[in-house]
Amino acid sequence: MTFVAGPVRVRVPATSANLGPGFDTLGLALDLRDELEAEVLPDGLVVEVTGYGAGEVPLDEDHLVLRAMRATFDRLGKQPTGLRLTCANVIPHARGLGSSSAAIVGGVWLARELVAGGRLLLDDAALLDLAAQLEGHPDNVAPALLGGFVISGQDADGAFWAVPAGVDPRIGAVVFIPPSPLSTEAARGLIPAAVPHADAAANAGRAALLVAALSGRPEELLRATEDRLHQDYRRPAMPTSLALVDALRADGVPAVVSGAGPTVLAFADGPGTAATDALLARCPDGWDARALVISSTGAVVVH
């Protein structure tokens, strides 16, 4: 096995998981992308970070992208003698927009590209499996890798799977990003081990409806994004986020907590429309609101 000469570069999208009722199963790629570059060196390790995480994330073997790269090199059978990694991060950290999944997908993708013939040795299905193992669940890594709207899960034997589904081109998104982070572990810790059967049944129906709504029935998005499994249980950790979700939904806007939060995602008509502009104007003080296109592509190599 040999490594390629010169750097390789990849862009990886932000993602929003759950989307209301699809807890740990539904995810959507958004056109907000981190750009990562890596190169094999004769020796040593250089890690550089700009944007989100600069001055905060480790610049050694503990860096998440690097950990994903090392796991991929192990899977491929050979570690390089030295590495340079550069990360230009635009996805906010710990906000429910898939920053850790973007780092993992970027890392496994970079490592594969640095190996001559890497795509023959490790196909996309194997890459998804490795990324999901590193993340622990596939709902964010699947759309980060594949793009678009993805339904994903894990079989009883441990195998991960992901199935892309269509997204109506009329549908866009507005994200409301709060200034304070929230760890996924803290948000997950608030969810009970068991929920009422009626709530589980209601969510199953809403999740199925959401697939239809996103693929061509956007008028059903408000009903389809109703959740009973996780959002209200997380309210103590993000009361302002859930208050915004409640206010938007009361006005007929399909709004949900993005991933584990605390970002709020509202489905809209797409950037530049009057409805989207009206949503942007509802951004709470101190928050950041962005109109985003749903990205049909996942991780891509930049030439």
Residue for token pair 């862009």: 11
| Chain centroid offset of residue 286 CA | 23
The reply to whether 214 sits in an annotated binding site is no
Closest among 210, 213, 125, 122 to 162, alpha carbons compared: 125
The reply to whether 92 sits in an annotated binding site is yes
The reply to whether 215 sits in an annotated binding site is no
The reply to whether 96 sits in an annotated binding site is yes
Q: In angstroms, rounded to a whole number, what is the distance separating the alpha carbons of residues 217 and 41?
A: 51
Instruction: Give whole-number Cα distances, 13 to 78, 102, 151, 220, 295, in Å.
Output: 28, 7, 17, 26, 8
The reply to whether 132 sits in an annotated binding site is no
The reply to whether 98 sits in an annotated binding site is yes
The reply to whether 94 sits in an annotated binding site is yes
The reply to whether 131 sits in an annotated binding site is no
The reply to whether 295 sits in an annotated binding site is no
Residue for token pair 């949900």: 256
Q: In angstroms, rounded to a whole number, what is the distance separating the alpha carbons of residues 180 and 283?
A: 15
CB 31 within 8 A of CB 117: no
The reply to whether 296 sits in an annotated binding site is no
The reply to whether 183 sits in an annotated binding site is no
CB 16 within 8 A of CB 90: no
Q: Which residues are annotated as part of the binding site for ATP?
A: 92-102
Q: Which residues are annotated as part of the binding site?
A: 92-102
